[in-house]
A and B are shown apart, each in its own frame.
Chain A
Amino acid sequence: MNSLLHRKSFGRRGEVGAMTMAVLFLFYLALIGVAILSGHFIFYGKGYDSRQVEAELLAMKVRSCIQEQTVIDKLFFEKLHERCALEKGVVEKFYNLRVCKNSAECISETQPLIGLGSKFQACRFDAATENESYPRCAFVRFKQGNDWFEIITISSQESRRNLG
């Protein structure tokens, strides 16, 4: 009887040890996996970032559009997307756009001609250019007639992986 009990308790100790080894084994696998993935992401980096160029392109396009107009009024800015051949859905989803007229500082202007989005304060930060998490801003300032226009654009579009 005692030897039977002894054998049973010995079996339980063996099982606990085996379970511990299994957990340790899985832990080591996870550690190796994390090391390989980390190395991959460090080497290949975060991808190809074209947000700065996209913001500049949008600013340039809006500027050209304004410069081609003979009459620049409230109606023009209400229908800016149609007048400047901009796809409204894409601009509203991925870009921020602010246009000011004769303003000392467009970023903090309370009554811009057009204001899409609200991330413009981040454009003031010098350190933002070093941090990939911050949006990428483009500034354009030009004179049209007797008025000074300032355009600020921000691109926050990241490419997506879609099925297909």
Chain B
Amino acid sequence: MKKRGEAGGQIYETVTYLILLVIFFVGMLYFVLQQQSGAGIWEQYYAKELVKIIDFSKPGDALILDVQRGSEIAKKNGVLSFSTMFVFDNAAHEVCVKLNTGGKRTCHNYFNDADVAEVQLQLAGGKNAEGMDVNVLSFKIVDRQRRDLGGERV
């Protein structure tokens, strides 16, 4: 009787430990695999590079950026629609980049008081230095438009 009781208690403890261990390692593995694609660092890279380009530009400029690497990472992470990868918020002067299916995206602000318009992601729309087709992001810088909610300037 005593031994069966002890055995039952030991099994209970062992199973509890095993469950905790499995939960812990699954969590760690998920975290490491998420980071392995480097989506976080590439989101930062694209957001900051886009901000630099926008800050350097003037109204009337048309810009094209090679986003082949970013779109490869997004596809690998299960992003179904490339149109959600790059989002420009003219009201907040913000560029947001999302290369994964998680709930968060990386955002960065630009100080140029201009709007970004005609944003297009073209698959195989450009060529790299080796002459290979690459995905490109194109957009135009235009004068700041008045906001309907009482914008600051025309």
Query: Chain A interface (Cβ within 8 Å of chain B)?
Result: 18, 22, 25-26, 29, 32-33, 36, 40, 44, 47-48, 50, 53-54, 57-58, 61, 81-82, 85-91, 93-95, 157, 159-164
Contact = CB atoms under 8 A, between A and B. Distances in A.
A36 B44 CA distance: 22
B13 A18 contact: yes
B103 interface: yes
A104 B114 CA distance: 35
Contact of B105 (A32, A91, A161): A161
A32 B108 CA distance: 34
Nearest to B59: A85
Contact of A44 (B13, B38, B104): B38
B52 A57 contact: yes
A52 to B, nearest CB: 11
Interface stretch (B16-24, B62-70, B130-138): B16-24
Contacts of A33: 24, 28
B153 A57 contact: no
B51 interface: yes
Contacts of B144: 85
B44 A48 contact: yes
Given A25-B20, A57-B55, A61-B55, A159 B113 contact: no
Contacts of B41: 44, 47-48
B119 interface: no
A157 B108 CA distance: 8
The range of chain B's interface size is 35 or more
B93 interface: yes
Contact of A161 (B31, B49, B106): B106
17 contacts: A25-B20, A26-B20, A29-B20, A29-B24, A32-B24, A44-B35, A44-B41, A47-B40, A48-B44, A48-B45, A50-B49, A57-B52, A61-B111, A85-B144, A88-B152, A94-B109, A94-B111
B112 interface: yes
Nearest to B104: A161
Contacts of A53: 52
Contacts of A93: 109
B113 A87 contact: yes
Pairs A-B, 4 closest by C-beta atoms: A50-B48, A85-B113, A161-B104, A48-B44
A85 B13 CA distance: 67
B11 interface: no
Contacts of B153: 82
Nearest to A26: B20
Contacts of B96: 162, 164
Given A91-B111, A160-B107, A48 B38 contact: no
A94 B109 CA distance: 9
Interface in B79-111: 87, 93, 96, 98, 103-111
